[in-house]
Amino acid sequence: MAKWFISTEELMPASGDAKKSWGCPMPMNCSLDDRQRELQARARRFAVDVLREARTAENLPTPEKRFAATKPAYERMIADGYLRLCIPESAGGDGRSLVDTALVYEELYTENASVALTLLGTMLGLQPLLVGGSADQQKQMLAPFLETSGAPLAGFCSSEPGGSANPAAPPPGEGMRTRAVRRDGTWVINGRKKWVSSATGWNRDGADLLCVVCRTDPDAAPDKGISILAVEKPYEGVVFERAITSPGYRAHLLPEFSFRDVTVPAENVLGEEGGGLPLSAASFVGASALVGVLGVALMRAAFEHSLHFARTERRGGIVPIIEHQAVGYALVDAKIAIEATRSLAWRASAAIDARHPAAVELANHSKIFGSETAVRVITDLMRVVGIDSYDDENDPLNGLLQDALALPIFAGGNMGVRRRGLHAMLANPGYDPLAALDRS
């Protein structure tokens, strides 16, 4: 069974004869079978029946109240097995492929990006464990996330106040500032983190699992002294500082918090000690491909609204505005962009499932193209609707744009991380411009 994440060894660019060892062609048509169509239809029904109603949480006065109000909807997602669908069968879940996950996320995200992002944040929080954890670590730490009850949360604690695009920067650069020190058979963690979805939990009592990127060897080279430590609940010393008030994802919790002498067992290193950076990169590959799907979902919601608006509104004229050529062309361009982005995201997901040599490249393409296209398309559709699209109470487009604006800058910003990764690939003398083609 194909796995939908890539190990740190597989992340390394292949060249020469190494490419022949993959022996796993990438599906080029990404056609859906009957099981996937039913999965897609089931997720669509769930999203309409459960997540659409949960949008009312966005009207509450504070970020924490809005987030807490989504808990029943999140519990329904857990009960219906959507988190298990994100965990591969090889780790005890029900996930068969990243393509399956992409199908589900498009449906959930189209109806309620805030609650769907809470699920995605938990999935991302589990990635270092799924990619780099031992069988024993996975058996122990994944248990609460394989249940179909409760509201388990996980967080991938990478980003820090002041930015984390250069974690391996040598002095005088600050690099990764959170540190862990060995003490009596344990690691003691101190530092601050930011932008980690749901990390401080439903009631400031912390997520069930935190995978913390931190410096564990101050004397090693800056890119070799970073590790990822798993922090399991219950724990003490994770201190909530504030909930970020963001223009988008109004009912999703984005906290700023600190680790103050948080103690974990020495054996809670995920992967190799000092191997935190490649493990982090490998953990983000699947999420990068899925960002393209998130862009599709937001564009799809905006397009469906704008199409209905254009078909029914005359705006003081004689005929519905869809009869005007400029409006029709804008809608056509939007639909083309949606289909192109979905195809790229599915292809990137299929490449990860197949462990294709171009998987990382295609995942970054999906992330960059999907996120930036979503911002452009929704902005263009706001021009179709006109000034009413700026009315939050009566039109969804402004809110969809606020959600879309985050896509180019999260899961590794397009400018600081994703384009830099692609630039490094292009600069490699062994780079094959046709590597993304299926030449099996």
Does residue 252 form part of some domain?
Answer: yes
Kindly state the DSSP code that residue 18 receives in the 8-state scheme: G
pLDDT score at 10:
54
Residue 12 sits at φ, ψ, to 5 deg, of -65, 135
Kindly state the DSSP code that residue 428 receives in the 8-state scheme: S
CB contact at 8 A, 366 and 348: yes
SS3 content of the chain, % helix, strand, coil (to 5): 50, 10, 35
Residue 148 sits in the same domain as residue 188 = no
Torsional sign, CA 207, 267, 8, 5: negative
Give the closest residue to 223 by CA, choosing from 279, 269, 180, 274.
Answer: 274
Residue 176 sits in the same domain as residue 148 = no
Residues of the chain under the 50 pLDDT cut = 1-4, 8, 12-26, 440
CB contact at 8 A, 116 and 52: no
Per-residue 3-state assignment (H helix, E strand, C coil) for 100-133: HHHHHHHHHHHHCHHHHHHHHHHHHHHHHHHHHC
Give the residues across from 242 on adjacent strands: 256
Does residue 129 form part of some domain?
Answer: yes
Does residue 2 form part of some domain?
Answer: no
Residue 133 sits in the same domain as residue 48 = yes
pLDDT score at 417:
87
pLDDT score at 7:
54
Per the document, the length of the chain is 440
Kindly state the DSSP code that residue 245 receives in the 8-state scheme: -
Beta strands in 202-254 (DSSP E): 209-215, 226-232, 238-243
Region for 188 from its dihedrals, namely left if φ exceeds 0, alpha if ψ lies in -120 to 50, beta otherwise: beta
CB contact at 8 A, 256 and 241: yes
Residue 168 sits in the same domain as residue 136 = no
Does residue 53 form part of some domain?
Answer: yes
63 preceded by a cis bond (ω within 30 of 0):
no
Does residue 178 form part of some domain?
Answer: yes
Distances, alpha carbon 291 to alpha carbons 215, 249, 306, 407, in Å: 28, 15, 22, 7
Task: Select from 222, 245, 274 the last residue of a domain.
Answer: 274
Look at the chain and report how many structural domains it folds into: 3
CB contact at 8 A, 439 and 24: no
pLDDT score at 292:
97
Model pLDDT for residues 321-366, shown as the tens digit of each residue: 999 999 999 999 999 999 999 999 999 999 999 999 999 999 999 9
Contact partners, residue 17, CB within 8 Å, separation at least 6: none
Structural domain containing residue 74: 21-152
Task: Select from 152, 182, 206 the last residue of a domain.
Answer: 152
Does residue 14 form part of some domain?
Answer: no
pLDDT score at 175:
85
Contact partners, residue 348, CB within 8 Å, separation at least 6: 288, 289, 292, 359, 362, 363, 365, 366
Residue 185 sits in the same domain as residue 235 = yes
Neighbours of 11 (CB within 10 A): 17
Residue 299 sits in the same domain as residue 406 = yes
Residue 161 sits in the same domain as residue 132 = no
Residue 369 sits in the same domain as residue 266 = no
Residue 51 sits in the same domain as residue 111 = yes
Residue 206 sits in the same domain as residue 312 = no
The token pair at 405 is: 């604006």
pLDDT score at 436:
86
Could you give the CA distance from residue 325 to residue 210 in angstroms, rounded to a whole number?
52
Does residue 6 form part of some domain?
Answer: no
Kindly state the DSSP code that residue 134 receives in the 8-state scheme: -
